Amino acid sequence: MTGPGEPDEQIEVARLHAPRDVRLHREPADIAGPDEVRLHVTSVGLCGSDRHWYEEGSIGDARLTRPLVLGHEFAGVIADGERAGERVVADPAIVCRECAPCRAGQWNLCRSIRFAGHGTTDGALRSMMPWPSRLLQPLPDRISDDEAALLEPLGIALHALDLGRARAGGSAVVCGCGPIGLLLVGLLRVVGVATVVASDRLPHRVAAAAAMGASDAVEVAAGMPGITGPAEERQVDVAFEAAGDDDALADAIAAVRPGGRVVLVGIPPDDRTSFRAGLARQKGLSLMLCRRMRPLDLERAIRLAGDGTVDLAPLISHRYPIAQAPEAFATLAAQRGLKVIVNPTPTRSRPEA
């Protein structure tokens, strides 16, 4: 008889073999290593970086070198050991804790980081996986498994919010209303920002931004300025570029006041961002780049979702079992909804209030 975690225990896995080529497999389960536990993966969120992998077979300077299991926004139930049965959400970053950024507490900048679903580290699109126990945070009952898959994007939005130094009574623009942009809209409202303008090319995302609390939600067209009006009216304190798009960055630079901040959150498709320097220089802008989330951001995200300050459920537009992972990626690539969730094993729903 096969014992728990033995090499011939078979699991369901979705692997990316080449751009737009996601295949289903039955494979032996990986055995948990030192300080790891096995996790029944219940929910995996697909995000913009997964879309880059799917459409381009790369992201930034990382290239697909072998069939890769994607998925870094994930939750599940611990399968064995002292924590067996515990519902958890994962921090997807395994850091060295020894390099200079790690020693400074900047774990998101670790020089030797291993990140789930990136490079050579398989991610969570599989029914069972090992992961370091220290990176699995317990979930309150209020947060469902599917909602928990949105906690990592919420952590990134919190990091971006801090970089932008948004203040109560101030003003902000969010250019790009995918899930992280929408979470930024909600967080800006939570901290008391008085005016929040949001823009996107997709009408359903513009509508979602309005529902999240945007003061004004604007539909824009490629190559056209989205934040219009006289220059003296474009005086927001901070602008967040969350589309990975030069047009969105141009709008952000145009909208922010002299001496203000622009935070780049989006990932461009060809690993290159460009903008006309004149206006940014004339305004003396500070450009900040947001990379993933920091060590405490996941804990902050759990608290905000757990106490109801941030409602993650409205952002979930599609759910697929792992057997339909290719269809899930097609939906992601077409940008037909907001957050696409894949369920490798059955999930636990949030109890009704």
Question: In this structure, what CATH number is given to the domain that contains residue 250?
Answer: 3.40.50.720
> In this structure, is residue 2 part of a structural domain?
no
Beta carbons of 114 and 36 less than 8 angstroms apart? no
> In this structure, is residue 300 part of a structural domain?
no
CA dihedral 246, 250, 252, 253 (to 10 degrees): 130
CA 219 to chain centre: 22
Same domain, 239 and 269: yes
> In this structure, is residue 3 part of a structural domain?
no
Same domain, 261 and 163: yes
Name the residue among 58, 62, 48, 122 with its Cα closest to residue 92: 122
Same domain, 109 and 163: no
CA dihedral 78, 83, 85, 90 (to 10 degrees): -40
Name the residue among 242, 243, 240, 244 with its Cα closest to residue 253: 240
> In this structure, is residue 142 part of a structural domain?
yes
Question: What is the CATH number for 75?
Answer: 3.90.180.10
> In this structure, is residue 329 part of a structural domain?
yes
Same domain, 138 and 268: no
> In this structure, is residue 350 part of a structural domain?
no
Angstrom distance (rounded) from CA 303 to CA 2:
40
> In this structure, is residue 299 part of a structural domain?
no
Same domain, 15 and 127: yes
Beta carbons of 123 and 92 less than 8 angstroms apart? yes
Grouping H, G, I as helix, E, B as strand and the rest as coil, residue 41 is strand
Domain holding 173, by residue range, is 154-289
Same domain, 164 and 209: yes
Domain count, the chain: 2
> In this structure, is residue 5 part of a structural domain?
no
Same domain, 278 and 326: no
Beta carbons of 14 and 126 less than 8 angstroms apart? yes
pLDDT at 265 (0 to 100): 94
Same domain, 180 and 200: yes
Same domain, 48 and 170: no
Same domain, 109 and 233: no
Angstrom distance (rounded) from CA 142 to CA 174:
28
Average pLDDT per run of 10 along the chain, which is 353 residues long?
54 95 94 93 94 86 90 95 95 92 89 89 95 96 96 96 94 95 96 94 94 92 54 74 90 92 89 87 92 90 96 96 96 93 79 45
Angstrom distance (rounded) from CA 242 to CA 166:
16
Name the residue among 286, 252, 226 with its Cα closest to residue 171: 252
Same domain, 129 and 31: yes
Same domain, 105 and 166: no
